[in-house]
Amino acid sequence: MTRKITLVTCLFISLFCASITVAQDEIRISSRLVSDSMDKVQNWQILVMVRPQTELKATAPIIQVPQPFKVVSIQPEQADLSPERFTLFYVTVSGQMVSSHSSLDVSLPNRPESKTSIKLFSEKNKLFSQPEIQKEADRQAPRPQGKPLPLRPMQVRDGVLEYLDGGEVALWGVNYYPQSFLEFQLFKEQNIDIKTAINADLDDLVRDTDGPNRINAIRIHVVDTEISDAEGNLIRNEHLDMLDYLVSKCNERGIHLWLTPIAWWGGTQPRRDDAFSLQTPIQALFYSSETWAFQQRYLKQFLEHENPYTKRRLVDEPCLNLFEIINEPLYWSYGELTKLSKTNGGVNVKKEDENTDADPNVAYRKKIRKEWNTTLPGPEWESAEAWDYFQYTQIRHYIETMYQTIRATGAKQPIAFSAWLNHNVSHHAIADSPCETIAMSLYPGGLSQTPQADARNLLTSTSDAGWSSVLAKKARLVYEFDASDTYRQIDLYPAMARFFRNKGAQVACQFQYDSRFHAAHNQAWPTHYLNAVHAPERFVSFLIAGETFRTLPRGTQLNPANPDERIFPPTAVSYSKNAALLCKEQLFMQARPTDWHPIPLPEKPTRIIAVGSTPYFDYEGTGIVDVRIKGDTAEVRVNPDVKRLQFDVLRGTPEKPLTQLEQGKHPFRLKLPGWEKTVELESGKTYQLNKENAKER
């Protein structure tokens, strides 16, 4: 006990991390004084983290110290060194400090060019120091894009996601959860058949076979607490059945599916109260190897279960092209590990159990600390730096274990791990893991904003931004994003699409699409609001963003002079004008009426998707108008009118909804040469027009 107290209260004279890469050998060093700074003989703990350029067997770094210092011990005495990962050595140095300039040199045997030096008295730093931010344009040059259809396998080559038959992947989509959370509960409360809802929603999301009025991808973080037991066994129930049905429909509609099998958090009722992750803090899923067997069992059974609608194993579904192991990982800091109070990401417990061994948040941290201590030469080596290395090894081992479990089912799909947090240690672990892709998110201004984000110009959140150079070898995905807490503003979606391409993202899925059956009251996720029928202006902005995402090459850069506008042809957005539009040679898209046209309009568009009047037609309805022109014929599809019943709120109730759909007749005049005749169209219907008349289709 006395020894531990001495270590905790000792004076940290120096904590320094040096990192160099000479001929790809990398040595990082940290040091700390563990005796009183006034003692005649001083003892130092040195951590030496090594990654060689080539594999070295039974090797130890060479430690050189000045007189009168001496190396007391190095543990382990030897180790196999791999260029694929860092290896840590624990070095004890003792001696009398003669000068504050005294330094310690470390090198690899027979590689003098690898030598790294530090002063024992130095500024503080960490073994896992902040890496450089790398521009996508400097990481990987863009390649020709492949078409999203037909559905076909993908691979990652040199950090770029591509189809096996060639061409870069660029997919735009949504998160969609009819089988889980409050969506599932609302369907039950309203006595709505979920299969009917899925079919109707996919009708809205996929109106084009291969064009701008469709999504290309659906991402789902599966709520494992709904479909698993305490041992990780898969439970077949209605949640799983509805997921299987949705998978079958993704195959039919040509939608690429991205599944994250473990969500961890319980979500909403109904759910199983004995699921394997329900009483496990999410941090423990990575640090505590005793939890891995449950996760492995669940992954295997989930991926190998047969879909009753397709008669295929889930892992063999043509639409299933991307995996992500777990949703939004969280990690414990050294302080959180050693201070056993409840922390963010922990399991909810009874008040009387808090801060006791009956509290999983406490019990698991004690277990993990004990497991960590078995890797140390002794408990006196406990420190934030040593904890960082343990984190690195455990997170990397976790990813490797789950990766191999997925691969053992026969899965060939690229596998992602989330890098959503600015957490350097996990980024190094992800970089050194076998996962091929990484996932990020973006919510400009944050979630649950007060006042609503409509009152703020958030375009500055979409300025050019690189990513950690440590992750340079991984392809990039966006698992969640949204213009959250906005009701009126429609400028953010296209700006985010450009931002994602600037960062190298190749798949981006908004969170979360509201089913048309409860979008009118938006109770499930009130901070989000996206639906093709009830939120037409936002949805056209979302479609513009999708076309932007599929058009712009990776690494596209922008240096806007005006903070109010973002102009990146073929797209332009403005906050003050609340405008979003896209202009291609034969395509025009407009999220709401505007006289602002900062990029050239197409002369003879053959496809127009808009809300309200445009330079090409007059229309007073409030639903989306979709016009396709082919020769002397125009197909015009008009969505129902939308009447807003409540303003400045994003959540209603079935009794007091936000919106109401209305059928109405409105004059429509196509303002292209030879088409100037005005016709009357009823909202919610599709018409065939020629230059003489209009006919309902």
Q: What is the CATH number of the domain that holds 52?
A: 2.60.40
Same domain, residue pair 524 and 572: no
Band (482; pLDDT cuts 50, 70, 90): very high
Nearest to 147 by CA among 126, 130, 166: 166
Same domain, residue pair 179 and 246: yes
* pLDDT per residue as tens digits for the range 385-434: 999 999 999 999 999 999 999 999 999 999 999 999 999 999 999 999 99
pLDDT score for 504: 97
The answer to whether residue 396 sits within a structural domain is no
The answer to whether residue 445 sits within a structural domain is yes
In whole angstroms, what is the distance from residue 518 CA to residue 177 CA? 13
DSSP class of residue 353 equals G
Chain centroid to Cα 403, Å, comes to: 18
* pLDDT per residue as tens digits for the range 188-206: 999 999 999 999 999 999 9
For residues 588 and 568, the answer to whether their CB atoms sit within 8 Å is: no
The answer to whether residue 616 sits within a structural domain is yes
For residues 130 and 23, the answer to whether their CB atoms sit within 8 Å is: no
Mean pLDDT of 609-634: 96
Same domain, residue pair 96 and 161: no
In whole angstroms, what is the distance from residue 357 CA to residue 349 CA? 11
Same domain, residue pair 192 and 300: yes
Say which range, 20-34, 38-52, 126-140, has the weakest mean pLDDT. Answer: 20-34
Residue 351 is encoded by which pair of tokens? 């008040």
pLDDT score for 4: 37
Residues 6+ apart with CB under 8 A from 21: none
Tell me the residue range of the domain where 537 lies: 134-269+291-328+414-551
Asked if the model's pLDDT at residue 13 lies above 60, the reply is: no
The answer to whether residue 405 sits within a structural domain is no
The answer to whether residue 192 sits within a structural domain is yes
pLDDT score for 352: 66
Q: What are phi and psi of 187, to 5 degrees?
A: -60, -40
Report the percent of the chain where pLDDT is more than 90. Answer: 78
For residue 648, the one-letter residue type is D
pLDDT score for 6: 37
**With left for phi above 0 and alpha for psi between -120 and 50, is residue 446 left, alpha or beta?**
left
Last residue of a domain, one of 503, 524, 551: 551
Last residue of a domain, one of 516, 551, 586: 551
Nearest to 485 by CA among 521, 516, 525: 525
Q: Give all strands (DSSP E) within 143-248, no chain letters.
A: 154-157, 160-163, 171-175, 217-221
pLDDT score for 549: 98
Q: Helix H segments across 511-665?
A: 536-551
Asked if the model's pLDDT at residue 380 lies above 50, the reply is: yes
Band (268; pLDDT cuts 50, 70, 90): low
Same domain, residue pair 301 and 192: yes
In whole angstroms, what is the distance from residue 106 CA to residue 89 CA? 11
505 vs 691 pLDDT, higher one: 505
The answer to whether residue 286 sits within a structural domain is no
pLDDT score for 433: 98
Any idea what the CATH number is for the domain that residue 429 is in?
3.20.20.80
Same domain, residue pair 59 and 14: yes
Mean of pLDDT over the chain: 91
Mean pLDDT of 634-651: 93
Asked if the model's pLDDT at residue 176 lies above 50, the reply is: yes
pLDDT score for 15: 34
In whole angstroms, what is the distance from residue 694 CA to residue 697 CA? 9
The answer to whether residue 341 sits within a structural domain is no
Query: H/E element holding 238?
Result: helix 238-253
Query: H/E element holding 682?
Result: strand 678-682
Same domain, residue pair 304 and 437: yes
Nearest to 347 by CA among 234, 225, 505, 453: 225
pLDDT score for 100: 67
In whole angstroms, what is the distance from residue 171 CA to residue 162 CA? 11
Band (537; pLDDT cuts 50, 70, 90): very high
Residues 6+ apart with CB under 8 A from 451: none
Burial 344-359 (b: 16+ CB within 10 A, else e): ebbbebeeeeeeeeeb
Residues 6+ apart with CB under 8 A from 343: 332, 336, 361
Q: What are phi and psi of 405, to 5 degrees?
A: -65, -45
pTM score: 0.93
Same domain, residue pair 119 and 24: yes
SS3 content of the chain, % helix, strand, coil (to 5): 25, 30, 45
The answer to whether residue 379 sits within a structural domain is no
Same domain, residue pair 514 and 603: no
Question: What is each CA distance from 634 to 180, 469, 475, 612, 694, in whole angstroms?
Answer: 41, 50, 41, 18, 9
Mean pLDDT of 111-115: 92
- Rg, the chain, Cα only: 29
As for how many domains the chain has, the answer is 3
Same domain, residue pair 523 and 614: no
Same domain, residue pair 139 and 123: no
Mean pLDDT of 561-582: 96
Residue 413 is encoded by which pair of tokens? 């799909």
**Treating both helix axes as pointing N-terminal to C-terminal, what angle do 194-205 and 181-189 enclose, rounded to 10 degrees?**
120
Q: Within a 10 A sphere around the Cβ of 369, how many other Cβ atoms? A: 18
In whole angstroms, what is the distance from residue 326 CA to residue 417 CA? 7
For residue 31, the one-letter residue type is S
Asked if the model's pLDDT at residue 299 lies above 70, the reply is: yes
